[in-house]
Every structure is written in C-alpha cells, then in structure tokens.
C-alpha cells in the first residue's frame, strides 16, 4: 500500500487545472536510526534550547528566528514577516515556463517527488499535460512551497505520471571551472584509450538497484542482531585489513591496463545477449 501523500494541491497550465498529490520518490524509512542514551542510567537524552547567557531552558513560545546583521546584532523576524514574502505557490503548481528536457544540469537536481492525479475527474487534464510535455521533449518549470520554503521545481513526464524535482538555487551551485581548470586537456594516446574502452566494454552490464545497496546498513543490522542475542561486542570482519588504503605505489599506466585486460572478466560483468 502506497504511503499517504505528502502534499495535495493543483497542477495548472494556462486555463487547464487538475487536482494532484505529491509523494516523496525516495525514503530513508528503512535506515538504521539511533537514539542517544545516558550510558549510566540507560535513559533517553533529549535536546533543549538553552539561553547562551542565562543558561536557562527557552520555552518554544519564546524561540524566534533572527538574522545576524553584525556581531551580537540581530533582527527578529516574526511569522507574519516570513509569510509576507511567500508567493501564491502553497497549493498550486502553476507551470509558466518550459525548457528542453536535456538542458538542465544534474547538479541543480535536489529531491524527487511523484506527482499523480488526486481523482478521476482531473485525470484527463493531467494526462494531456504529461503527454504534451513528453511529445515536445520539454520539462516544466514552476515554484512551490514545501516545508515552509518556496522552491523552484521541474516537472518531468515519467511513465504514467510526472516526477517533480526540487531545484537548487543558482547561488547554491558552485562553478565547476574553479575545480577543473587545473586539469590538463591533452588528448590521450590512442592505444591507451582503446585499452580503457575495452575494459569498459567488458564490465558494462544492465543497471540494477543492487549496485547501490548499502553494505554498511547490512553490517549494522548484523551487529545489532548479534548484540541483542549474545550481548557480546561486535568484532570486525576477517580481511578488514584488505580495505585499508593502498600504499602509494607508482604503477606504469600501460602495464596496469595490460594486466586488467589479461584478467578474465567476472561472470556478472559479461552479457551473453
């Protein structure tokens, strides 16, 4: 059973409107989560806001958001101040611009959400918008308030629905030139290039979500199970030393590539198709 929608509202394109729901496309619900305990008593420890000067606990009603203008100089912003800057995007995804689907750099993508019709009445309008974007090979750009913050969002046709990506703002994305400018743009030798391409071909397989399995998560669950049943401290796996950082050995590139190609490809690296 699908989880309850995170958001309900309307998808709008010009005069076409339909009710939709928004649900996160990813989840961390299965992740191992920890609580902080008092080791001596075994009791839970809770976080409280403490006044930096008096050292006293501050009640929730007395907690306020503030902007630091200078050292120890703050301007307090009330809820009505924050509400005043929000646009009318709390309940409507109004698509007012489109761009070619492959022109937005991946670094702008933040969090994905599934968008589906909220009822049968709006399904036809939803389908028309989705199919028209798909046929035109474009994605929609809009704005939406999520978690009390207005976000730029991208709407991408996906299967029978639409995926909405929240987008990072321009000032949150760093220029790659600052990092790549020191990399030499020289063309590699043809022989080296062909050898690497051969290795890539040998190791090219079909995508599977098992490729992004979390081994740390599995190991944590093993440790938790072990502690619960035996009360013993977990011991590291045999061969853990093999995961240590390699020594700084300089290996000739051509030699390394030759050895790589001489090694038989693993069974899961080849496809008989």
Mean pLDDT is lowest, of 56-70, 146-160, 170-184, 230-244, for: 230-244
Q: What is the mean pLDDT of the chain?
A: 82
pLDDT at 88: 57
Count of alpha carbons within 13 angstroms of residue 18, beta-carbon side? 20
| Res 228 pLDDT > 90 | no
How much of the chain is in helix, strand and coil states, percent to nearest 5? 30, 25, 45
Backbone phi and psi for residue 40, each to the nearest 5 degrees, phi listed first: -75, -40
CA angle 222, 223, 228 (to 5 degrees): 100
Q: How confident is the model at residue 154 (pLDDT cuts 50, 70, 90)?
A: very high
| Res 155 pLDDT > 70 | yes
pLDDT at 2: 65
Helices within 88-213 (DSSP H only) = 123-136, 177-180, 190-202
pLDDT at 206: 93
**Cα 111 to Cα 26: distance, rounded to the nearest angstrom:** 8
At 169-202, the pLDDT tens digits run 888 888 888 888 888 888 888 998 899 999 999 9
**Cα 178 to Cα 67: distance, rounded to the nearest angstrom:** 30
**Cα 59 to Cα 47: distance, rounded to the nearest angstrom:** 12
At 16-49, the pLDDT tens digits run 999 999 999 988 777 778 888 888 888 888 888 8
Backbone phi and psi for residue 199, each to the nearest 5 degrees, phi listed first: -60, -45
Q: Are 7 and 146 in contact (CB under 8 A)?
A: yes
How many Cβ atoms are within 10 Å of 217's Cβ, its own excluded?
12
């Amino acid at each position: 059973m699908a989880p309850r929608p995170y958001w309900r509202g309307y998808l709008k394109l010009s005069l076409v409107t339909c009710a939709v729901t928004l649900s996160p496309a990813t989840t961390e619900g299965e992740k191992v989560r920890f609580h902080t305990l008092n080791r001596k008593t075994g009791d839970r420890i809770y976080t409280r806001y403490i006044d930096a000067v008096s050292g006293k606990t501050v009640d929730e009603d007395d907690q306020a958001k503030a902007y630091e203008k200078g050292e120890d100089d703050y301007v307090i912003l009330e809820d009505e101040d924050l509400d005043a800057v929000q646009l009318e995007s709390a309940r409507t995804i109004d698509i007012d611009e489109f761009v070619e689907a492959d022109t937005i750099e991946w670094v702008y993508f933040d969090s994905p959400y599934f968008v589906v019709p909220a009822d049968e009445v709006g399904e036809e309008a939803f389908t028309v918008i989705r199919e028209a974007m798909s046929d035109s090979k474009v994605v929609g750009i809009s704005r939406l308030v999520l978690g009390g913050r207005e976000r730029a969002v991208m709407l991408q046709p996906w299967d029978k629905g639409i995926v909405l990506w929240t987008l990072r703002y321009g000032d949150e994305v760093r220029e790659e030139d600052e990092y790549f400018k020191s990399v030499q743009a020289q063309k590699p030798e043809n022989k080296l290039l062909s050898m690497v391409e051969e290795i890539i071909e040998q190791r090219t397989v079909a995508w599977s979500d098992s490729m992004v399995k979390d081994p740390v998560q599995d190991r944590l669950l093993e440790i938790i199970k072990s502690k619960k049943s035996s009360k013993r401290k977990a011991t590291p796996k045999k061969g853990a030393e093999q995961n240590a950082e390699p020594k700084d050995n300089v290996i000739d590139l051509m030699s390394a590539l030759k050895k790589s190609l001489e090694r038989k490809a693993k069974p899961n690296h080849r496809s008989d198709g």
